[in-house]
Structure 1
C-alpha cells in the first residue's frame, strides 16, 4: 500500500482519509506502546467514519464521526487532548466544509464545547454565519443542544506540564527550530486532527480540529478554523485538511490554493500538495496535507519527519502510519 495517489477501482468508491498532525516525530523517540495507542485511535476514527459512509450517510457526517473519536481521545491536540494557552486555558478551534454546496462552519477559541467539530457543523447547518468565536460560539452551541462541559474537562497533567516547560523557556511550543530532549515535549507540534471523506453520492467534505499552540497568547487563532487555509472542500477539485505551522498556512491560503492547482492547472494531487508545502517552507513553515478527490484518489503529504495518518475504503480495511515510506502505512485489524 503506497502513501500517495491511491485510487479505488470501484465505480462507486467510498473513502475516508484522516490525519493526527504532522511534526518532528522521531522513530527513536516514539515508544512502541505510545505508537500503538496512536494507531488504535486512528483505527477507531477510520471505522467510525466508514460506518457512516457504508450506511449511505453523508461525507459531512463521516468527517464529524471520525474527528469526534480523535477529539475524545487525550492523545491528540484536539478536544480532550488540547494544549494550554499562556493563561492556562484550553482554547479549541474547528472547521468543516461541504464540497457539494461550499457551505462551511467554524468555531474558534471555545473553552466549554466538548466536540468543537460538532459545533462547526452546527454553525454551517443552523446559522447564516461561517465562523463564531469564544463566548458567542459557546452560547450558540448550547442553544443547539450540543454537549457543554466545564473547562476542567480538558485538563490533563501532561499538557499542563508542557505549558510549565514552555513558560520556563519563554517560548511558544510550536517553534520548529527548538531542540528538545524528548519528542513528547513537542507533541503539540503534530496533534491537530483532520478528515476528508467521499460518500456514495460523490460528495466531498473536509474538517479539522485543534487545541492550537502550547503557551499561545492574546487570543491567537491558527489556520484550523479558517476556511481556505486549514480546511477546504470542492467537489470539482479536492477536499483538503491541513496541519502544521498555522500562520504560514493562513498566509499561503494553503487549502484553497492546493485545490486551485488541481482545478485550474489540472495538477495531480501529489504534485499540488507538494507545491503548497514547498511554498510554505519558503516562509519558514512546515506541516502536512491530506487530499481526496471525487474519484476516490487521495494523497497524504508532509515535509516533516512524520505525520499520523490513515485511510479506509470500500473494503473497510483501515490503513495507518506515521513515517514516510510505503512500508509504514499498514493494515490494522478491527480489534486493534
Structure 2
C-alpha cells in the first residue's frame, strides 16, 4: 500500500511540474508589445441607426488624430505620461466630446471640468475638479501631480493654481457650444413637464436620439515599461450643487500601476465611485492573478452591472495587452500597437 501511495505521489508531482512548465511556455510565447496606446471618447446608447454618416466620420477622424499624437510620442521614445496628456489635449480641444471645448452645461449654465492623471511607475497622481477657466483640464491634473504636494485641487483654488503654473486660461465663454446648450435646455424642459427627467445620464446629446455618453480618456505603455492613464470630462448635463463624478477620483475614473495595468473610465460616475472600478481591475490582477481581459470583464459586466451602473473602460497591461470593456450599446474607442496597427470602434462589436 505504501508503495502504491508513493507512486501516485510521484506521478502527481510530475504532472503538476509538467503543467507549470506548459503554462510557463504558453506565457513566454505570448507577444509583448514594446509600446501601445488606447483611448476612449465616452460610452452610452450610441446606435448606428441614430448616427449620420457625417457625424460618424467626424468622430472616427478625431479619434484617429488623437491617438496618432500619442502613438508618435511613444514611437519616438517619449513617456506614457506625455502620450496620455497630449492625446487627451486633442479630444479636449474638439467640440465632439464632453471634455474641454465640448463640455456639457451644469444646471446653472456653467461648464465645470474634472480631470485626473496617474503615473504607473511611481503611483503619483494629480487631479482637478470643478474648474471653469482652464482650457485643458488634463494639463492642470498633470501640473497638480508634478508641481504640487497634493493629489486633487478643486474650484477657484484649482483655477488659481493653473494660472500660477502659466497654463492656458480662457474666458468661460470659450466652452460654449450651441449643441451642448440645447442639451441642457432639453433636459430642463423635460423636468418642467415631468415626462423624462433622467438624472442618471452623464451626457445627453440633443442631436443623436437617446444618446448618453461623455468623458475622454487614455491609457498607454511606453518603451521604458511605464504605464500611465488619464481622464477628462465636463461631467453630467444639468448637474447641481458642485457635483463631481468619477473622472477626477483616483481609483474610480483613473488608475495606473506598473505591476498590473492602466485604466481610464467613462460612464455613470456615481457607480464607478462606489465600485472603485479602475482600481478594482488592477486589484483583481494583482491579488487574484486574473488577466486584464478577465478582470475588466468581471468588473464591468458583473460588478458594475449588478450595482446598476452603465459605462465602460479602456485599459492596457504591462505587456501591452489592451481591452475596451463596456456594458452599453457603444463606446468611442481606438487602439494602436507598436507595429502601428490602428483600430477604431464606436458600436458594440
Query: Taking structure 1 as the reference length, what is the TM-score of the superposition?
Result: 0.90
Residue of structure 2 equivalent to 1:331: none
Residue of structure 1 equivalent to 2:336: 312
Deviation at 1:190, TM superposition (A): 1.7
Residue of structure 1 equivalent to 2:326: 302
- Give the aligned length: 316
Partner SS for 2:56: helix
Partner SS for 1:28: helix
Aligned-residue Cα RMSD (Å) equals: 2.0
Cα distance per residue 1:219-244 (max 9 Å; x no partner): 00000000000000000011000011
Contact 1:56 1:199 survives alignment (8 Å): yes
Higher helix share: 2
The answer as to 2:102 corresponding to 1:53 is no
The answer as to 2:239 corresponding to 1:252 is no
* Within-5 A mapping of 1:1-336: 13-170=34-191, 175=200, 184=208, 187=211, 189-277=212-300, 278-325=302-349
In structure 2, relative to structure 1, the CA distance for the partners of 1:74 and 1:33 (3 Å cut) is same
Contact 1:42 1:309 survives alignment (8 Å): yes
Partner SS for 2:50: coil
Contact 2:33 2:321 survives alignment (8 Å): no
Contact 1:274 1:301 survives alignment (8 Å): yes
Cα distance per residue 1:285-307 (max 9 Å; x no partner): 11001110111111111000000
2:199, 2:320 → 1: CA distance? 33
1:14, 1:286 → 2: CA distance? 30
Contact 1:288 1:304 survives alignment (8 Å): yes
Partner SS for 1:299: strand
1:146, 1:58 → 2: CA distance? 20
Cα distance per residue 1:138-168 (max 9 Å; x no partner): 1111111100000000000010110011111
Deviation at 1:186, TM superposition (A): 5.1
Residue of structure 1 equivalent to 2:11: none
Residue of structure 1 equivalent to 2:3: none
In structure 2, relative to structure 1, the CA distance for the partners of 1:160 and 1:59 (3 Å cut) is same
Partner SS for 2:313: strand
Deviation at 1:269, TM superposition (A): 1.4
1:218, 1:137 → 2: CA distance? 17
Contact 2:180 2:205 survives alignment (8 Å): no
2:165, 2:58 → 1: CA distance? 33
1:282, 1:254 → 2: CA distance? 13
Query: Taking structure 2 as the reference length, what is the TM-score of the superposition?
Result: 0.87
Deviation at 1:85, TM superposition (A): 0.0
Greater Rg over alpha carbons, structure: 2
Deviation at 1:183, TM superposition (A): 6.5
Q: Which moved more, 1:149-158 or 1:273-282?
A: 273-282
- Structure 1 stretches of 4+ moved >4 Å: 8-12, 171-174, 180-183
Q: Which moved more, 1:265-274 or 1:252-261?
A: 265-274
In structure 2, relative to structure 1, the CA distance for the partners of 1:137 and 1:173 (3 Å cut) is farther
Deviation at 1:315, TM superposition (A): 2.3
